[in-house]
Amino acid sequence: MRLYSNEIVFRGHPDKVCDQISDALLDAYLKEDINSRCGIEVMGGKGKIFITGEVTSKGNVDIEKIVNRVLKDVGYKNKYEIINNLGKQSEDIAMGTNDEIGGAGDQGMMFGYACNDTEELLPMAMVILQKLSMWYDEERKKCNYLLPDGKAQITGYYDDNMNLQRIKTFTVSYQNDELHREITDKLIKDKCIEICNDYNIEIENFLINPTGKFLIGGFEGDAGLTGRKIVVDTYHSFAKVGGGAFSGKDPSKVDRSGAYKAREIAKDYLKKYNLRWCSVQLSYAIGIKEPLAIYIDSDKGNLNVEENLYNECASKRIIKDLNLYYICYEDKAKFGHFIN
């Protein structure tokens, strides 16, 4: 047996709020102009929300309205000064990524992963935490004692094939009014047990708010930044992580679209070759249509790359095949980009 840990942050965590603002703004620009080029970064903290990055779009977006709507949705009640520092996409980048050329919007490497642990084809401990995070977000809307910020972590016992056997410690740090802890602690413990029972996983110990108190949270307790939770956004460290974050980036940015495609390839190969796990790496050069390389690894060793994959992984082809101009990116920023 070996011990391994993974983590998730709740939707109201400051970093996740910044991710959601970045993607809500992206959604708004794409809705008005699908050819929008966006790389939107957000930082929040101590009464201010700073929005920077690049946008080239025919869309006219009410930034302040969207930011305030996201803050309300995640449960933040304070007022914030919103500072708009957006600029335009560099023409040097645009030369290689316009519709005629259709080259990748950046260089770098992206990873996709799938395993046969769960019906979602994701690691079991990852799915458990995603379900807890989604439940918490719904529960805090109904329970005035629960507040938006929080995170959870599983430290589990694993066998030699990295199958979760049981949980040594389930850690949950959650923001609350600190007046009803007996009620809210029990609520959270009961839900953790309920979710784990669905997978026949026993929990040995809980750590609930280990410092003893979590009243001050959100942008009052911590700063937030777009893209700071890339491990939570992907595979909770059960798989390798690429070099770039997702949120705020339009589909021409292969940091995002390449990672989404790599996940689809990993799922396809997992089923086709009856694998326990599959990991896919794509790599790109800015302005070049097809990937420089595709590498596929698995529990059965390295696998051959099918001939058509290079064409399928061209930037414009990914956008078309995965319908990436017409999905809701804000939803993906809430609980992790891969929940199925």
- Taking only the tens place, the pLDDT of each residue in 298-312 is 999 999 998 899 999
Average pLDDT on 33-49 reads: 96
Which is it for strands 203-208 and 81-87: parallel, antiparallel or unpaired?
A: unpaired
206 closest CA partner among 196, 216, 215, 214: 196
- Report how far residue 202's alpha carbon sits from residue 52's, in angstroms, rounded to the nearest whole number: 45
Query: What confidence score (pLDDT) does residue 133 get?
Result: 98
* Candidate list 11, 37, 131, 151, residue with the active-site label: 151
The fraction of the chain above a pLDDT of 70, given in percent, is 96
Q: Quick one: pLDDT band at residue 273, thresholds 50, 70, 90? A: very high
219 among known catalytic residues? no
253 among known catalytic residues? yes
User: In this structure, are residues 259 and 113 in contact, taking their beta carbons and an 8 Å threshold?
Assistant: no
Query: What confidence score (pLDDT) does residue 105 get?
Result: 72
Examine the pLDDT at 6 and tell me if it is beyond 80: yes
Taking domain 2-8+124-218, whether its CATH number is 1.10.3720.10 is answered by no
Examine the pLDDT at 89 and tell me if it is beyond 80: no
| Domain-wise residue ranges, the chain | 2-8+124-218
* Candidate list 13, 37, 256, 332, residue with the active-site label: 13
Q: Quick one: pLDDT band at residue 102, thresholds 50, 70, 90? A: low
pLDDT digits (tens, 9 = 90+) for 198-220: 999 999 999 999 999 999 999 99
Sheet with 2-9: strands ordered across: 2-9, 146-158, 164-176, 203-208
236 among known catalytic residues? no
151 among known catalytic residues? yes
What's the burial of 248, exposed, middle or buried (CB within 10 Å: 0-12/13-18/19+)? Answer: buried
Tokens, residue 283 = 């790599």
- Report how far residue 184's alpha carbon sits from residue 163's, in angstroms, rounded to the nearest whole number: 31
Query: What confidence score (pLDDT) does residue 92 get?
Result: 58
Average pLDDT on 331-335 reads: 97
Q: Quick one: pLDDT band at residue 1, thresholds 50, 70, 90? A: confident
228 among known catalytic residues? yes
249 among known catalytic residues? yes
pLDDT digits (tens, 9 = 90+) for 231-271: 999 999 999 999 899 999 999 999 999 999 999 999 999 99
* Candidate list 7, 10, 15, 337, residue with the active-site label: 15
* Candidate list 37, 229, 261, 289, residue with the active-site label: 229
* Candidate list 249, 267, 289, 332, residue with the active-site label: 249
Average pLDDT on 280-291 reads: 93
* Candidate list 11, 140, 228, 289, residue with the active-site label: 228
Examine the pLDDT at 101 and tell me if it is beyond 80: no
229 among known catalytic residues? yes
* Candidate list 111, 214, 219, 335, residue with the active-site label: 214
15 among known catalytic residues? yes
333 among known catalytic residues? no
Where b means 16+ CB within 10 Å and e means fewer, 98-133 reads eeeebbbbbbbbbbbbbbbbeebbbbbbbbbbbbbb
* Candidate list 50, 178, 181, 223, residue with the active-site label: 223
64 among known catalytic residues? no
- Report how far residue 276's alpha carbon sits from residue 117's, in angstroms, rounded to the nearest whole number: 8
Query: What confidence score (pLDDT) does residue 251 get?
Result: 94
* Candidate list 7, 10, 11, 16, residue with the active-site label: 16
* Candidate list 120, 139, 178, 222, residue with the active-site label: 222
Residues 6+ away with beta carbon under 8 Å from 40:
22, 25, 26, 51, 52, 53, 54, 55, 86, 226, 247, 248, 249
**Overall pTM > 0.85:** yes
